[in-house]
Amino acid sequence: MGCRYLKTQLIISEKMDRDLNEKCAVFGIFGDSASSARETYFGLFALQHRGQEHSGIATTDGKEIHLHKGSGLVSQIYTEDILKKLPGFAAIGHNRYSTSHGNHVEYAQPFVYENLFAFGHNGNLPSIKKLVEFLESQNETTKHRSDSQLMSQAIGVYMKEGNSLPDAIEKAYPLFTGAFSCVVLGHNSMVAFRDPRGIRPLVLGKKGTEIIVSSETCAFETIGAEFIREVEPGEMVVITKNKIESKKLANENPKLDIFEFIYFARYDSVMLNKAVYEVRKNLGRILARENKKINKLNVDMIIPVPETAISAAIGYAEESGIPFEMGISKNRYINRTFIEPTQEVREEKVKLKLTPLKEVIKGKRIAVMDDSIVRGTTSRQIVKMLFEAGAKEVHFLVSSAPIRFPDFYGIDTPNQKELIASTKTVKEICEFIGATSLSYLSIDGMIEATGLPRESFSLSSFDGAYPINIEEREKEINYDVPTK
C-alpha cells in the first residue's frame, strides 16, 4: 500500500524574521499508545522555536505509514480530525524553517520513501557530492531534491536491496557529509542517529513503556516524559517493541554548535548536562566582568531584547549591580498571520514585534542586551526606537562574539558579505547601529559560560574553524575579516 498523504496549505506572511533561524526540530515516540500522533503534536508544539514554516507528522500501524504535513505553525496545521486520521503505535514529527529550497510544502518533512519508512532530519549537509554520485549510480533522481530528501533516498536504495532499516542506515551513513540529527520511522521500529561531531542536539526520553526522541529536553516536560540521555555523536539507537539497541557508526568527536546555548535552544532545556537558562545567565555575568567601562558610566538600567536575551540581561544585572528592567515588550502573536502585510508594514516589522515602554525609558541611560548581531539592521532599528522613546544614551550589549562566518550545519545565515562583523570593526558596527557604545562578549567568555572545555564546541560562526569539512563550499569563505 502507498503512503497516505493529507496535505494542508496555509497562507503565511513574509517572515517576521530574526536574522538567524534554526532549520529544524525532530521528535519521535514509540510504544503501545494509540495516541502517538497526539503526543507528537504536543512535542512539536514545544519545539516550535526551532522551525516555524512547516510541520509534519508520520505514524505507523505496522502495515502502513500515514502522513500529514503543511505550511504554518503547529497550531495551524493539525486539528482533531487530522490527528484521528493518523493511527498507529509510533510516530515521528518535524518542524522546518524554509531556506534555500523555498517554502513549498513539498520540502516539508518527514519524507516517506515508498511506504518503507518516514525520515526526519535536523541539520545540513554542506556537501552532497557523495550522495548525488551514489544515487545517480543507482538511477535515482537527484534534481531539485534537498539534502534531507537525498539522505532518505540513499537509505531507501539499501532497503530495497533487502537490508533492514538499521542496516540500510548504517550502509548509507558514510555518504552523509555534514551535520545531522535524524529520526526514522519504519513499520515496526524507530531509529535515531547523529553525525560524529554532534553539531545539532538529539536526546532520548521515556514515558512509561514509550521511548521518545527529541531535538531538546523541553519537549519531555510537555508530554510528561523523563530525560534518559543524549544520543551520542556517531551513535545509532534502534527502538523496537521489546528492546533498545545502540551501535556506534563512527568515532565520536563532539562539537555541539555553541549557538544552541546562546540562542537556539529553549531556555528550559538541558544540553551537555547544563541548564541552558544558567548558561545564558553566565553569558551576561561574564560580559559584565569583561565590560567594566559600562558599569562605570552611570547606566540607569539593563533591558533585554525579548525573549532569548532575558537570561543574559538578568546575569549582567546581578553581576554589575545595575537594575534590570523589562523596557521592551514583545508581541507574542506576530510571527505568523493569515493577513498578508503591506509594504509599509513589512518595513515596520520591528515595531510590530517590539514596543518600548516609554515611561520606563524616557530620560534614562539604557544598556540593552541582545544575543547576537547579524546584519545589524534589526539592532539599528532597536537603537533608533529606544532613542525615539526618550532614552538619553543607548549602550548595546551582545551576549556572544561577533558573527564573522556563515554556518553550514543547519542554521540559516546570510551570505558572509551580509554579516556585518565580517566587513566592519566593532567601532564601525557601533556607528552603523547608532548606539552610544557597543560591547560584545569574547569567544573565551562564551566558552567559560558553559563550564565545558573549548573542544566540546563548534565555534565556526565566530572563528571560521569548521569541524566538518565543508568541501566545495570552502570557496565561499573569506577569512580576511576584522579582528577588533
Q: Is residue 462 part of a domain?
A: no
Beta-bridged to residue 214, according to DSSP, are: 27, 203
- Flag whether pLDDT at 144 surpasses 90: no
Indicate the burial class of 102 (C-beta count within 10 angstroms; 0-12, 13-18, 19 or more): exposed
Asked if 70 contacts 122 with a C-beta cutoff of 8 angstroms, the reply is no
Assess whether 232 and 359 both reside in one domain.
no
Per-residue pLDDT, 468 = 93
In angstroms, the Cα distances linking 115 to 7, 15, 68, 111, 173 are 16, 33, 14, 10, 21
> pLDDT per residue over 147-199, tens digit each?
999 999 999 999 999 999 999 999 999 999 999 999 999 999 999 999 999 99
Q: What is the domain extent for residue 299?
A: 278-331+342-453
Assess whether 192 and 301 both reside in one domain.
no
Q: Residues of the chain with pLDDT > 90: what percent?
A: 81
Q: Is residue 458 part of a domain?
A: no
Q: Is residue 472 part of a domain?
A: no
Mean pLDDT, rounded, for 131-152: 94
- Please tell me the distance from the alpha carbon of residue 374 to that of residue 450, in angstroms, as a whole number: 22
Q: Is residue 129 part of a domain?
A: yes
Per-residue pLDDT, 169 = 98
In angstroms, the Cα distances linking 69 to 87, 108, 153, 301, 314 are 15, 7, 19, 45, 39
- Please tell me the distance from the alpha carbon of residue 405 to that of residue 229, in angstroms, as a whole number: 32
Assess whether 194 and 111 both reside in one domain.
yes
Instruction: For residue 200, give the CATH number of its domain.
Output: 3.60.20.10
Per-residue pLDDT, 329 = 92
- Flag whether pLDDT at 303 surpasses 80: yes
- Flag whether pLDDT at 1 surpasses 70: no
Assess whether 248 and 313 both reside in one domain.
no
- Please tell me the distance from the alpha carbon of residue 14 to that of residue 308, in angstroms, as a whole number: 22
Assess whether 292 and 167 both reside in one domain.
no
- Residue 333: pLDDT band with limits 50, 70, 90: low
- Please tell me the distance from the alpha carbon of residue 461 to that of residue 415, in angstroms, as a whole number: 12
Assess whether 249 and 287 both reside in one domain.
no
Per-residue pLDDT, 412 = 72
Q: Is residue 13 part of a domain?
A: yes
Per-residue pLDDT, 21 = 55
- Please tell me the distance from the alpha carbon of residue 92 to that of residue 420, in angstroms, as a whole number: 38
Asked if 211 contacts 31 with a C-beta cutoff of 8 angstroms, the reply is yes
Query: How many structural domains is the chain composed of?
Result: 2
Asked if 55 contacts 70 with a C-beta cutoff of 8 angstroms, the reply is yes
Per-residue pLDDT, 298 = 83
Per-residue pLDDT, 98 = 61
> pLDDT per residue over 2-39, tens digit each?
444 343 333 323 333 445 555 699 999 999 778 899 99
Tell me the pLDDT of the chain averaged across its residues.
90
Assess whether 304 and 230 both reside in one domain.
no
C-alpha cell of residue 55:
510541520
Mean pLDDT, rounded, for 421-427: 97
Q: Backbone phi, then psi, for 236, in 5-degree steps?
A: -120, 125
Q: Backbone phi, then psi, for 328, in 5-degree steps?
A: -130, 130
Assess whether 30 and 137 both reside in one domain.
yes
Q: Is residue 475 part of a domain?
A: no
Name residues whose C-beta falls within 8 Å of residue 57's C-beta, 6 or more positions apart in sequence.
37, 40, 41, 44, 67, 68, 69, 78, 86, 91, 92, 93, 110
Asked if 95 contacts 52 with a C-beta cutoff of 8 angstroms, the reply is yes
Per-residue pLDDT, 242 = 84
- Please tell me the distance from the alpha carbon of residue 422 to that of residue 479, in angstroms, as a whole number: 9
Enumerate the active-site residues: 24
Assess whether 291 and 431 both reside in one domain.
yes
Annotated binding-site residues for Mg(2+) read 308, 370-371
Give the pairing of strands 365-370 and 301-304.
parallel
> pLDDT per residue over 41-80, tens digit each?
999 999 999 998 899 999 999 999 999 999 999 999 999 9
Assess whether 198 and 309 both reside in one domain.
no
Annotated binding-site residues read 308, 370-371
Cβ neighbours of 201 (radius 10 Å): 26
Q: Is residue 388 part of a domain?
A: yes
> pLDDT per residue over 266-290, tens digit each?
999 999 999 999 999 999 999 999 9
Instruction: For residue 376, give the CATH number of its domain.
Output: 3.40.50.2020
- Residue 106: pLDDT band with limits 50, 70, 90: confident
Per-residue pLDDT, 20 = 57
- Alpha carbon 370 to its chain's center: 17
Assess whether 241 and 314 both reside in one domain.
no
Q: Residues of the chain with pLDDT > 70: what percent?
A: 89
DSSP state of 342: P
| Sign of the CA dihedral running 158, 163, 167, 171 | negative
Assess whether 384 and 320 both reside in one domain.
yes
Per-residue pLDDT, 103 = 59
- Residue 391: pLDDT band with limits 50, 70, 90: very high
pTM: 0.90
Q: Is residue 337 part of a domain?
A: no
Instruction: Please give the torsion angle defined by the CA atoms of residues 172, 178, 182 and 187, in that order, rounded to the nearest 10 degrees.
Output: -20
Q: Backbone phi, then psi, for 126, in 5-degree steps?
A: -65, -25
